[in-house]
Amino acid sequence: MMIYEINIKADRQVAGKFAKWLPEHVKKVLACPGFITAHWFKTDEPEATRVPWTVQYEVESETALENYLKEASTQSSPRIFEEAKKEFGDQIAISSRALKKISEFSSVFSDESRQLSDYPKLHCPFIRQNFKVKYEDWKKMGSKFELKTPEAYLVINQVNPGYEWVFEDSDTFACEKLDGTNVKILTKSGRLIVIQNRLNIIDPLQVMKGNTYITEAIFQSIGKDYVKETGEQAGEVIGPKLQGNPYKLDVHLWYPFEKAITDLRYRSFDEHDRNFDNWSSWFKDHLFSRFFSKRAARLGTDEKVFAEGVVFYNLKRKSESKTWMAKLRRDMFLWFYDGIEIIGYDKAGVIK
């Protein structure tokens, strides 16, 4: 883990304008491979003539940061030095530094506000771009496809720089991406210490209100021996109250990602060329849920359910502290939006 820190001092007459400008720049940086989260701080210097701010980015590895800085120097990645100078000139002073994590210290038995490690942001191995949706089609069908605005964020037939390993490295494999909600847990000596989703700590003793289905899911998984006696684990909660329950579960279940790596792997992944056309066809017609297929026999049905998508893993790259996960979903492809006109995009994934 690396921290990339940007220190800013803005003249007070442009501070308000800069404060509105900065979030959009941060979003662009977070879209770069390996960048996980960003934290914006204000230093307490009431008498200062300039407003002091600090932005700290969490970056998954030293390699990811080096790649970003290398691309930034060639103007292919967003970099605050050039963008801010162009917009604000000498009214903004900026410096940066990189911090490498040596160790982490915490008390497992701290209070309920304890935060677990951040959720890694998974990027797509293809470049994605926003495309306009025909307004009349969006009004009729936008809610069906969960399009909040008349735009669709789609993959195009170009490899996302830094993710060539998904296509070229023989150690890369694909596992089903379950359609639910991410939840992390922490246990120690057989005790459940923390349950946390992306936004909140979940109180397992809050049984009258709240997200009780998450607690139910954890205890179902404990009964199936999915939970370690000690350690932090991440997984997906699936079941009746989530995403329309595509897996036809009667109760909620927390499914650890490490189990998905071993049990939900697509074994035929290496039998086909890794390219846009093949994966588009696979996702459209043949990407069936491994999780549901295992349930189908017990349910006495030959029904099939489409998977939401896949997560690509490369454990060798993980051991080398490199970017080692990526994701691709069915709703990232043009054909998913059947009946909606997408402007400026053709079926080959090439911009018109």
Predicted confidence at residue 61, as pLDDT, reads 86
| One-character DSSP codes across 84-111 | HHHHHGGGEEEEEEEEE-------TT--
Q: Name the residue with higher pLDDT: 204 or 183.
A: 183
Do 58 and 170 lie in a common domain?
no
Predicted confidence at residue 226, as pLDDT, reads 97
Beta strands 151-159 and 126-132 are antiparallel
Domain-located, residue 172: yes
Predicted confidence at residue 306, as pLDDT, reads 97
What is the distance of C-alpha 337 from the center of its chain?
22
Predicted confidence at residue 211, as pLDDT, reads 78
Do 71 and 136 lie in a common domain?
no
Do 133 and 250 lie in a common domain?
no
Domain-located, residue 110: no
Domain-located, residue 352: no
* For range 184-210, the mean pLDDT: 84
pLDDT at residue 105 greater than cutoff 90: no
Domain-located, residue 253: yes
Strand partners, 342: 133
Confirm if 248 and 295 have CB atoms less than 8 A apart. Answer: yes
Do 284 and 269 lie in a common domain?
yes
CA distances from 249 to 99, 183, 253, 262, 299 (A): 45, 18, 8, 21, 10
Spatial separation of the C-alpha atoms in residues 33 and 124, rounded to whole Å: 9
Residue finishing a domain among 100, 135, 154: 100
- Tokens for 83? 């963008």
- pLDDT band with cut points at 50, 70 and 90 for residue 77: low
Give the three-class secondary structure for 268. Answer: helix
Predicted confidence at residue 340, as pLDDT, reads 93
Tell me the pLDDT tens digit for each residue of 292-343: 999 988 888 889 999 999 999 999 999 999 999 999 999 999 999 999 999 9
The CATH number of the domain holding residue 35 is 3.30.70.100
Do 212 and 171 lie in a common domain?
no
> 3-state DSSP helix/strand/coil percent for the chain, to nearest 5?
30, 30, 40
Residue finishing a domain among 65, 100, 135: 100
* For range 140-156, the mean pLDDT: 93
Domain-located, residue 341: no
Spatial separation of the C-alpha atoms in residues 329 and 308, rounded to whole Å: 6
Do 200 and 150 lie in a common domain?
no
Domain-located, residue 108: no
- HSE-up of 348 (CA within 13 Å, CB side)? 3
Which range among 119-123, 237-241, 274-278 shows the weakest confidence by mean pLDDT? 119-123
Do 168 and 246 lie in a common domain?
no
Do 164 and 21 lie in a common domain?
no
- pLDDT band with cut points at 50, 70 and 90 for residue 102: confident
Q: What percent of the chain is modeled with pLDDT above 90?
A: 65
Do 143 and 207 lie in a common domain?
no
Domain that residue 168 falls in: 126-177+264-336
Residue finishing a domain among 226, 261, 296: 261
Strand partners, 256: 235
Do 158 and 13 lie in a common domain?
no
pLDDT at residue 46 greater than cutoff 60: yes
Average of per-residue pLDDT values in the chain: 88
What's the length of the chain?
352
Predicted confidence at residue 115, as pLDDT, reads 59
Model confidence, pTM: 0.68
Do 89 and 229 lie in a common domain?
no
* For range 123-144, the mean pLDDT: 94
CA distances from 53 to 26, 69, 86, 98 (A): 13, 21, 19, 16
Domain-located, residue 109: no
Q: Name the residue with higher pLDDT: 219 or 205.
A: 219
- Tokens for 22? 């900065």
- The structural domain count of the chain equals 3
Do 86 and 33 lie in a common domain?
yes
Domain-located, residue 73: yes
Spatial separation of the C-alpha atoms in residues 25 and 52, rounded to whole Å: 17
